[in-house]
Amino acid sequence: MFDCFRKAAPKKLVNIGCGSTYHPDWENYDLVPAQPEIKKIDLERSLPLPGKSYEAVYCSHVLEHLSRSRVPQVLKEFARILQPGGICRIVVPDLEQIARQYVNVLEAAKNNRTEAVYQHGWLTLELFDQMTRTWSGGFMGKWLGLAAGPIPDFISQRIGAEASRNQKPEAGEPLEFFARLFSQPEGWSAKAELEFQGSGEKHRWMYDQISLRQLMCMAGFAEIVVRRHNESNITNFVAYRLDSDSEGRPRKPDSLFMEGRAP
């Protein structure tokens, strides 16, 4: 049969809340589609997708943007649309990893090690700025926007490509740096803050392997396991490069990767 007469096989893989990270072999959905080939979906509502129809659901760095009370229903929806035995892969910022690093650098910062003082400042932003910011990017965006700043390599290790790869290291006085960092940006206003609050950019909760396992278990998933970025029960997952960068490193190193099997 000529290729042009062959009907495209329906995709059996779905990426929900894909942002700009997607692969054409998947059905890709987002609340705010970044490209015409991405379809609109809202996880605050029941998913307009047929039951028992997908081999895999992938949802990366999305659940933390939803209210904690909505997430159990979302995971139940993922279980509903998966074929029996299908794989649900959830990726979120890993609260455990951030908390462990925070405690480590806190100890070093107590000894006034300048680098550790900066690392402590950055990890504090990972913990709080993402949940409390009042304008897009928040204090993290302000730090990343600097042409020169402290600990660029540490930040790259933490968050991967989102860090400015061009940022030049600049050793300075932490007190002075943080005084400059923690000021509102020009143009900030209460009205702009109000508009920003509805944008969905802020994190509304954080998860670790205990809380995410509980949620996946409650949604009916079995065989729930923590994965590495390049490890999955989804066939050929690594080839789609959803969790790896072009050099095979984790795309978002601050992540927790978990998979479960649908009943």
For ligand SAM, the binding residues (CB under 6 A) are: 17-19, 21, 30-32, 41-44, 60-62, 65, 200
For residue 262, the number of C-alpha atoms closer than 13 Å in the C-beta half-sphere is: 25
In whole angstroms, the minimum distance from the beta carbon of 200 to ligand SAM comes to: 5
Nearer to ligand SAM, 103 or 161 (CB): 161
User: Which residues share a beta bridge with 60?
Assistant: 91
Nearest approach, Cβ of 11 to ligand SAM (angstroms)? 17
Closest CA to 204 of 112, 74, 85: 74
Q: Of the two residues 108 and 127, which places its CB atom closer to ligand SAM in the complex?
A: 127
Position closest to ligand SAM via CB: 19
**Which has the closest alpha carbon to 188: 180, 178, 196, 179?**
196
Q: How many CA atoms lie within 13 A of 39 on its CB side?
A: 12
Contacts of residue 196, defined as CB under 8 A and 6 or more positions apart, other chains included, come to 133, 134, 135, 136
Q: Which is nearer to ligand SAM, 223 or 231 (CB)?
A: 231
Q: Which is nearer to ligand SAM, 73 or 104 (CB)?
A: 73
Tell me the C-alpha distance between 8 and 236, whole Å: 19
Q: Which is nearer to ligand SAM, 118 or 135 (CB)?
A: 135
Return all residues near 142 (Cβ < 8 A) that are at least 6 apart: 181, 185
Determine the residue type at 58: Y
CB of 30 to ligand SAM, least distance (A): 5
Please say which residue, 42 or 107, places its beta carbon nearer to ligand SAM: 42
* Smallest distance from ligand SAM to CB 72, Å: 15
For residues 78 and 88, the answer to whether their CB atoms sit within 8 Å is: yes
- Rounded-to-integer distance, Cα 48 and Cα 262, Å: 19
Query: In the complex with ligand SAM, which residue's Cβ is closer, 32 or 217?
Result: 32
From the DSSP assignment, how many helices (H) and strands (E) are in the chain? Answer: 9, 9
DSSP-based three-state secondary structure for 257: strand
Please check whether residue 66 is in contact with residue 42, taking contact to mean a CB–CB distance below 8 angstroms.
Answer: no
Contacts of 117 (CB under 8 A, 6+ apart): 109, 174
Could you tell me the smallest distance in angstroms from the CB atom of residue 261 to ligand SAM? Answer: 21
Closest contact distance (angstroms) between CB of 18 and ligand SAM is 5
Residue 93 CB, nearest approach to ligand SAM (Å): 9
